[in-house]
Amino acid sequence: MEDMLPFQPSRPRRNRRNAAIRGLARETRLHPEQLIYPLFCVDGAGIEDPIGTLPGMARLSEDKLLAEIERSWNLGIRNFCLFPAVEEHLKDKTASHSWADDNFYLRIARNVKERFPECSLMSDVAMDPYSSDGHDGVVTEEGRIDNEATLPILARMSVAQAQAGFDWIGPSDMMDGRIGVIREALDENGYHETGILAYTAKYASAFYGPFRDALDSAPKSGDKKTYQMDPANVAEALRELEFDEMEGADIVMVKPALAYLDVIRAVKEHTALPVAAYNVSGEYALVKAGAAAGFLDAEAGMLEVLGAIRRAGADIILTYFAPDYAAWYKAQHG
């Protein structure tokens, strides 16, 4: 019979026959307990202020934030990261509101840990939400970002956050030497048990756009290229990794995720620490906007994106999809 295939004992399709078999052959899995859900908070009460460029996300006052954490908790999300949207009049050149006694962000963290003592809570350490310049470091008169002047500010911010009860201090600023300075300040103040989740390889990316809208934190002048990494580089990420490990990081992170899957892989292959990846605002917004425009299926897009980040080597993913993913996971697995 001339229409028969040549003899082929190996047939990859046999392992794709049905959903159960595909389940057996699946190489990559992602559990909701590997996710960290980033949330935006504001001072006040009863506020749920939608972020236009981040569909489904809003700036939340404490009451609404607690409700969102409870909803996500019931879906299986256990880890959360908070970002503060700070009123303009509280911003200054040294981000001094970040450690103020009446800082709403610290108050909210305290109350989240009181309501959900079993959750883990990650902070953001960087000057930009509190900076009148919109930069992650101190801006000098000549417009330079002053590394050494920034470090003690980050240390002070971190200690205030540890005191508020955050489990993870999350330095996202990319100043040189900050992990060591923060670790030392935490230890000197007795916070030996507070961890550092370091933004180890954080790139100067266009994909942070919606986040900067959410916090109104875009730089007032210039860009972040003198401290965030050049998207062209990967060896440099390993250099950052070496420093962060030496300085005492507990988890190392690559950010963004989708355009940096090779960096996630390289970092994973060079460290014994857990590796996190930040599926950032612009990456999330692309999928949501694409789905709204009818270009793709939102759920399938989410699964593919998170699966790819996991497959690249991320043990932990920060993602705005966290509750959506957990809801999907629950529907699949109960």
Going by their DSSP bridges, the two strands 58-60 and 35-41 should be labelled as parallel
Q: Is 212 near ligand PBG (CB under 6 A)?
A: yes
Token digits of residue 14: 């046999």
Give, as ranges, the residues between 264 and 323 that touch ligand PBG (CB under 6 A): 280-281
Q: Is 245 near ligand PBG (CB under 6 A)?
A: no
Type of residue at 120: S
Stretch near ligand PBG under the rule CB under 6 A, chosen from 154-162, 186-194, 204-212, 237-245 = 204-212
Nearer of residues 132 and 270 to ligand PBG, judged by Cβ? 132
What is the rounded distance in angstroms from the CA atom of residue 216 to the CA atom of residue 224?
Answer: 15
The CA-CA-CA angle for residues 246, 252, 254, to 5°, reads 130
Which residue of 62, 68, 124, 324 would you call a contact of ligand PBG, by CB under 6 A?
124
Neighbours of 222 (CB within 10 A): 14
- Give 40: exposed, middle or buried? Use CB within 10 Å, 0-12, 13-18, 19+: buried
- Write each residue from 154 to 173 as x if it is in contact with ligand PBG (CB under 6 A), else as -, in one continuous string: ------------------xx
We find the least distance from the C-beta atom of residue 323 to ligand PBG, in angstroms, to be 16
Ramachandran region of residue 216, left (φ > 0), alpha (ψ -120 to 50) or beta? left
Q: Is 73 near ligand PBG (CB under 6 A)?
A: no
Instruction: Please choose, from the candidates 322, 22, 38, the residue with its C-alpha nearest in 3D space to the C-alpha of residue 199.
Output: 38
- Is 113 tagged catalytic? no
State the catalytic residue, choosing from 202, 224, 268, 288.
Answer: 202
Give, as ranges, the residues between 220 and 239 that touch ligand PBG (CB under 6 A): 224
State the catalytic residue, choosing from 64, 255, 268, 288.
Answer: 255
Neighbours of 189 (CB within 10 A): 15
Q: Is 244 near ligand PBG (CB under 6 A)?
A: no
We find the least distance from the C-beta atom of residue 114 to ligand PBG, in angstroms, to be 25
- Is 202 tagged catalytic? yes
Interface residues with ligand PBG (CB under 6 A) are 124, 126, 128, 136, 172-173, 208, 211-212, 224, 280-281
